[in-house]
Structure 1
């Protein structure tokens, strides 16, 4: 970050702090960027855990958190942490609190059976879905649906673990009569196909850590060409954020084996239901046309 950062006035509330982190994120070191992501995705944990515990979770030395706080104008991490503690007084329970509550309700059993793996995933997904419901801004959901409805063509891109999300979007939106172009990695043509996008189109991009370079590059090119971008990612500090007209941040939490797609899949379905309500002029019961075989 800037060398004169410690001379500035430190943000006085949580909202100002997060705004400053977003403004400075691109010029931060890789370590500071990792700290920023953790702070913005886990505000309740930051409020109640010691700096050593937070540092251990991030696999970053505690002294880096102290220097990070000082670079933003604070005397130390404790002073920065106070803002998170004030926020917690009025904030909804975070992901971990919900998960622990759900585990208690379902009588957590300490076993290693196949059923216990299923149960653990379901408990985490329920908590994640509740988190997403509270953090999604209704107006942004409506704007995204409007952009998709009005678009001449809907371009879609998502690679690796994000691919199933855009495949679902392509299937449902095609069934709703929207012209969809999937920018897949096959044949190395995604970047060239993306050059056909126009301002009358829309690009839906899905990417989570670790972000696929091709996806990030295409999103940035879309912005330069005045193509509106609807992005689904894991953080407001995602490289997709600065180019997106609408960004849906679906924070990812630690899983023992893999990160679940339950929340982003649910968000994708919500978008398509909203589009269906518009194109079918039936807000009460929008439907996906049924495919029948002969």
Structure 2
């Protein structure tokens, strides 16, 4: 049987990786996650450097590419390079130049740590403009504004993101329930969701087991789920009606939440614009303390 020709563009390649992900070996799944989470790094780094980042032998990357129909990894890499050439090339060039400058310095002062943090987080936030679909934002805002109650779920480093979402949605008058892991009741509280309720789940690698299991159980109940995660291959992806994948950029702080928080604020503002019927200037009130 003749093998189908390999994808000729980045979007088709990613669709093929998604289609085959569940049937891949564990090593190939790790490679697939890296490719989908770090498209810019894949475009500019050698296969040996990429393999070292994943702690996987470079030959596995070559075989992975061949399993998709390419003659080698470089043929697959071309698609990532084409994508990068059309995705805010000026900004990416500035980020790359700043990172190279930082690597060449011996000064590890607090000011340089701040500079490095700003560069990496700026790259992550900028990527949202290319990675987040406007239709998904509109759909999520519509679902959340129409929901009777928004159940919020996030643990470990995802916790600050859902705490911020709870604050913002509460301030615009949306009823929210946090599925707090304390007391061991998060799973049981999730089972009280009604047909008009929505679950907004946030989870990043390495995904909290309870978050994944709750999402799967809520999906089995037929409830609506919006997921904010770091990869379209995340265990939350299959259960979500709307999926936001905010890719991470390497920086001084492993797995920064700056980009997810920016995305969370955007979603909250979009909900506010619908609740207030004010698409031009949505406003989220702040808690004010009375003067003593």
Q: TM-score, normalised by structure 1?
A: 0.90
SS in 2 for 1:237: coil
Which has the higher mean CA deviation after the structures are superposed, 119-128 or 233-242?
Answer: 119-128
Partner residue of 1:12 out of 4, 8, 22 = 8
Matched with 2:144 is 148
1:92 aligns with 2:88: yes
- SS at the partner of 1:253? coil
Shift of the 136–257 alpha-carbon distance from structure 1 to 2, 3 Å rule, reads closer
| TM-score of the two chains, using structure 2 as the length reference | 0.90
Which of 243, 247, 253 pairs up with 1:247? 243
Q: Does structure 1 residue 122 correspond to structure 2 residue 118?
A: yes
Does the CA-based 8 Å contact 1:198-1:226 persist in structure 2?
Answer: no
> d(CA) in 1 for partners of 2:87 and 2:278?
36
The change in CA–CA distance for 1:94 and 1:14 in structure 2 (over 3 A counts) is farther
Unaligned runs of 5+ in 1: none
| Alignment pair present for 1:46 and 2:42 | yes
Secondary structure at 2:170 match in 1: helix
CA contact (8 A) 2:141 2:270 kept: yes
Name the CA shift for 1:81/1:284 in 2 (closer, same or farther; >3 Å).
closer
- Aligned partners of 2:128, 2:118: CA distance in 1, in Å? 15
Give distance in 1, aligned partners of 2:239 and 2:21: 15
Shift of 1:105: 9.8
Question: Are 2:277 and 1:281 equivalent residues in the alignment?
Answer: yes
Task: Compute the displacement of 1:143 (Å).
Answer: 0.6
- Equivalent position to 2:32, from 32, 36, 53: 36
Query: Would you say 1:63 and 2:59 are equivalent positions?
Result: yes
Large movers: runs of 4+ above 6 Å? none
Q: 2:205 aligns with which of 198, 205, 209?
A: 209
Please tell me whether residue 238 in structure 1 is matched to residue 221 in structure 2: no
Aligned residues of 1:94 and 1:131 also touching (Cα < 8 A): no
Contact 1:44 1:94 (8 Å CA) reproduced: no
Structure 2 residue ranges without an equivalent (≥5):
none
Q: Is the Cα contact below 8 Å between 2:38 and 2:248 reproduced in 1? A: no
**1:179 equivalenced with 2:175 (yes/no):** yes
Is 1:138–2:134 an aligned residue pair? yes
C-alpha separation in 2, matches of 1:238 and 1:98? 30
RMSD of Structure 2 on Structure 1 (CA)? 2.4
Structure 1 residues 97 and 191, CA gap change in structure 2 (3 angstroms): farther
User: Matched residue pairs, number?
Assistant: 289
Report SS of the residue matched to 2:199. Answer: strand
Match in the other structure for 2:161: 165
Comparing both chains, which one has the higher relative contact order based on Cα–Cα distances under 8 Å and sequence gaps of 6 or more? 2
Which stretch of the first structure deviates more once superposed, 8-17 or 113-122?
8-17
